[in-house]
Amino acid sequence: MRCSIGNSKKHKNIKFKLIKKFNPLLRNQFYCSAKLSKIQRIFGNARKSMISDIFPFNQFCLAYIFNKMPAKIIDGKKIAEKIINDLKSKIKNMKEKPGLALVLVGNNPASEVYVNFKEKDSKEAGVYCERYNLDENISEMDLLNLVNNLNQNPKIHGVLVQLPLPKHIDENLVTNSILPHKDVDGFTAVSLGHLFSDKTILAPATARAVIHLIESTGAKIEGKNAVVVGRSNIVGKPVAMMLLEKNATVTICHSRTKNLEENTKKADILVVAVGKPNLITKDMVKEGAVVIDVGINRIGGKLVGDVDFNNVKEVAGFITPVPGGVGPMTRAMLMENTLKAVELAKRIS
């Protein structure tokens, strides 16, 4: 077979690897598809024209490889680790260390896991952390008194009450009892109100995580069609507002939306946060879209998202995994909010 790659050492190595490893494989286009991931690892080092010269007999397979490459996985864990390390460097040089209070009521297994992670991240970043494990039968008044004490504690810059709370406690009442400049989760009515009026104090950590993950792909948000599936006050609405602030054209879908697929199929950016496993399937996603899966669902002891990851990744341009996507980034944004709360405290005092 004639090859016009060139005679440099680098090009000869590329030619040798491609011919030796994959020339026999490419004679069958279906076998090519099965070996796609292996082929791409080699093709990443060569220009398309080079590969065409080596494999002129199989143009169908080349088109499949170059035009149907699986989505790039957005590694939220890796991005979050870098943020935590950067914060650690900043905090190391601060005279006043950020302080975070974590309040856990009851023994909900999922809540315990989340609080454990947040406590671990605090220690890694150098944030002073106080953890309160409270009995599930604690009275609403006693919980409110604790929050009030934390509000008045100058060592504590951020207060987080892990949700959900036991049924006998009013979540909204407890959440809104946190001072806005200490609301590092961004859940209080005041925090959300400021977000909607473009005067953000502390934006919700999960919403910030979503925006950061989208921007990490290099994709521009401005002018893009963004679809948010889910309208909760914690994720859906804040994400939609933050995308709107960045000049995206935003559509919010929910349980009463008719023809959900018609909306999601138009999305350049698709954010899903509804808590329904594998709700979004491959045929509902625009080719090349950025897909952010906020959902966390447990099926048979395994965590899965709201997006059918294994199939959707074949059409999306970028996609977050579950776990390892939004979760670690939310905790990193929580640490950033705690650091920001230190500056807010100084301005208020």
Q: Which two tokens stand for residue 200?
A: 């953000």
In terms of DSSP bridges, do strands 297-299 and 249-253 run parallel, antiparallel, or are they unpaired?
unpaired
Over residues 32-51, the pLDDT tens digits come to 444 444 555 555 544 444 44
Topology agreement, domain 93-202+330-344 and domain 205-328: yes
The CATH architecture to which 93-202+330-344 belongs is 3-Layer(aba) Sandwich (3.40)
Whether the per-residue pLDDT at 30 is higher than 50: the answer is no
Q: How confident is the model at residue 212 (pLDDT cuts 50, 70, 90)?
A: very high
Distance of alpha carbon 53 from alpha carbon 48, whole angstroms: 9
**What stretch of H or E contains 319?**
strand 318-319
Domain borders along the chain are: 9-67, 93-202+330-344, 205-328
Q: Which residue has the higher pLDDT, 9 or 230?
A: 230
- How remote is the C-alpha of 76 from its chain's centroid? 6
Q: What is the pLDDT of residues 144-160, one digit of tens each?
A: 999 999 999 999 999 99
Cβ(192)–Cβ(203) below 8 Å: no
162 is annotated as an active-site residue:
yes
Q: Which entry of 118, 182, 237, 286 is annotated as an active-site residue?
A: 118
What are all long-range contacts of 215-218, with beta carbons under 8 Å and residues at least 24 apart?
A: 216/74, 216/79, 217/72, 217/74, 217/290, 217/317, 217/318
Choosing from 15, 162, 293, 306, which is the catalytic residue? 162
For the whole model, what pTM was predicted? 0.80
Q: Is 75 a catalytic residue?
A: no
Mean pLDDT of 284-294: 97
Residues 6+ apart with CB under 8 A from 242: 195, 203, 207, 208, 210, 211
What is the distance between the alpha carbons of residues 122 and 250, in angstroms, rounded to a whole number? 34
Does residue 346 carry a catalytic annotation? no
- When pLDDT is averaged across residues 322-347 and rounded to a whole number, the result is 96
Sequence length of the chain is: 349
pLDDT digits (tens, 9 = 90+) for 70-97: 889 999 999 999 999 999 999 999 989 9
CATH architecture type of domain 205-328: 3-Layer(aba) Sandwich (3.40)
* One-letter amino acid of 172: N
pLDDT value of position 112: 95
The pLDDT of residue 43: 52
Catalytic residue among 185, 268, 293, 306: 185
